[in-house]
Structure 1
Amino acid sequence: MEEKQVMTNHKLLMTNRKGISLTGILDVISFDLREILLETSEGMLTIKGNDLHINRLSVEKGDLEVEGRVDALLYSEVVSAKAMGESFLGRMFK
């Protein structure tokens, strides 16, 4: 079965560095109390802080709510694991 992803606008609303509401979330890559790594419609987003918790996640809608002290937000380009693997294998077998 083919996976269907709906492109949504990416929005980020932070309140007093203690809570974040996000839209346009495609995937949660990893999370712990100090760092959350997300794939958004605008690239990879890393949220760094202390006592971070995911309160609500709606995969169908692409919505996410995070609670905890936010120290940093970092965006980077999306690099899929598949593309990285092909590059790596391509270099190995040249």
Structure 2
Amino acid sequence: MEEKNVSKSHKVLLVNRKSGAFSGVVDVLSFDVAEILLETELGMLMIKGHDLHVNRLSLEKGEVDIEGRIDSLAYSDVKTPGKQAESFLGRLFK
């Protein structure tokens, strides 16, 4: 029997829009107090808000913890990992 596409693990735990724990993170492409761009196992994840801070980052475990006021989470299916954040944003706003 052939195995088809094996699903990878990605979890988001959001608490009162003030803190978030993310697993299945491959890379942090950019971050500042207004937005954080993560490459996850299931695509790109843009986190927007105010006073955002990365409290814990473990790329070996694929985990990121953030704090601040989280306004939105938006996913994009970019198939080529490692692309620069600017090209992702350019495709997102076409």
TM-score band, normalised by shorter chain:
0.7 to 0.9
Note if 1:9 corresponds to 2:9: yes
1:19-30 equivalence runs, <5 A: 19-30=19-30
Gaps of 5+ in 2: 1-6, 88-94
Task: Work out which of the two has the higher radius of gyration on C-alpha atoms and give 1 or 2.
Answer: 1
Query: RMSD across aligned C-alpha pairs, in angstroms?
Result: 1.9
Counterpart residue number, 1:65:
65
Identity of aligned residues (%): 55
Shift of 1:8: 5.0
Distance 2:44 2:68 in 1: 20
Moved over 4 A (4+): none
- The count of residues paired between Structure 1 and Structure 2 equals 77
1:10-89 equivalence runs, <5 A: 10-80=10-80, 81=83
Read off the aligned partner of 2:22 and give its amino acid letter: L
**More helix, by proportion:** 1
TM-score (norm 1): 0.76
TM-score (norm 2): 0.76
Gaps of 5+ in 1: 1-6, 86-94
